[in-house]
Homo-oligomer: A and B are copies of this chain.
Amino acid sequence: MENHGLADLYRGYIACLNTRNWEGLASYVSETVCYNDQLVGLEGYRQAREDEFRTIDGLYFDVQLVVADKHTVASRLAFNISPHGEFLGLPVNGRRISFFENVFYEFDENKITRVWSIVDKAAIEMQLTQD
């Protein structure tokens, strides 16, 4: 059974990102958030997302799949974007690329405390090769 509470909260977080509501992010993300086992904190997390919106044209977090239990959300996100310059160390240089991210979020007191993300870099490499 889907935990609608946490799934709904997560969709609120995604809407917050997609509308670039940087002030609102504190409602969803813990001050001590860790990203892939690195402590980045709310400020570092917000800065990273702001940087992405500045350097990636067409950035939109498109939720394809959400699975939630009491403390954890798993999400499959689709992207169809044009990053300036390098992206994940690849010379994308404004080309349009499409790929997925599979990501887990651990919540504590209704805020994201830990994120474990994997982006499908291999899919991007394949698209750059085909160009």
A residues with a Cβ closer than 8 A to B are 1-3, 65, 67-70, 72-74, 76, 88-89, 100-104, 116-122
Q: How far is the CB of A67 from chain B (nearest CB, A)?
A: 5
Q: Is the CB of A120 within 8 A of B122?
A: no
Q: Is the CB of A101 within 8 A of B118?
A: yes
* Docked complex Cα distance between A120 and B116 (Å): 11
* Docked complex Cα distance between A3 and B3 (Å): 10
Q: Is the CB of A76 within 8 A of B122?
A: no
Q: Is the CB of A104 within 8 A of B67?
A: yes
CB-defined A-B contacts under 8 Å, sample of 21 = A1-B70, A65-B72, A65-B104, A65-B116, A67-B67, A67-B68, A67-B73, A67-B104, A68-B69, A74-B74, A74-B104, A76-B116, A88-B122, A89-B122, A101-B118, A102-B103, A102-B118, A118-B119, A118-B120, A121-B121, A121-B122
Closest 6 pairs between A and B when the two form their complex, measured CB to CB: A74-B74, A102-B102, A2-B69, A102-B118, A67-B74, A118-B118
